[in-house]
Chains A and B, each alone.
Chain A
């Protein structure tokens, strides 16, 4: 039973436009959410996170939105750059539990 779902395996965007990556979760007890970026054959790199008490967190070009009623979060990248091309993982946790990851979305930003 997958508690964190990233339903889009891939996304293609043109350079300079907005990239929107989506993530849905089923466990209403999750209280912390994270996004990681991963290049092939490398470890994931932490990007941005959000606590369940907030609905938005922004860091430079990256913004995460949380809609608790819909159990949905999204990562917005504006403007998108070719170097953003990678696999993006959504992760969630409850309290001091371990992270539960989605399967990832591959983002391709073309020049």
Chain B
């Protein structure tokens, strides 16, 4: 059945290390998004992509990078430049020109 998968569920990062969070969808959605959630905060947009091989920065893109080589996949790399990476990361997707976004189960990133 269709959906959005994120892996791993928990991820640990060492100081100075880059880590990549996976997001895959089989809903045939054109648009994909990455959000970050911190305690007591709403969802803040990191990056989004409306079409393959194209993506735009969101509100808090510094210290992150993405790629969109396939329609189904939108991986997020948390680089060593991101000084406060501990958070819950959520991936979402939506059909083109449709307002509703559908979310994956999330990845919790912790710093060792």
Taking Cβ atoms with an 8 Å cutoff, the residues of A that contact B are: 4, 6, 9, 32, 34, 36, 41-46, 49, 89, 93, 96, 98-99, 101-104
Contact = CB atoms under 8 A, between A and B. Distances in A.
B90 interface: yes
Contacts of A9: 40
Interface in B24-48: 33, 35, 40-45, 48
Contact of B43 (A6, A32, A44, A49): A44
B58 interface: yes
Nearest to B45: A98
5 contacts: A34-B100, A43-B105, A44-B43, A44-B90, A98-B58
Interface string B84-112: 00001010100001011111111010000
Contacts of B108: 41
Given A41-B88, A43-B90, A96-B97, A102 B103 contact: no
A6 B41 CA distance: 11
Contact of A101 (B4, B42, B97): B42
Contacts of A34: 99-100
A41 B104 CA distance: 11
Given A36-B103, A89-B43, 17 more contacts: A9-B40, A32-B99, A34-B100, A42-B105, A42-B106, A43-B104, A43-B105, A45-B103, A46-B100, A96-B97, A98-B33, A101-B42, A101-B44, A102-B42, A103-B40, A103-B42, A104-B42
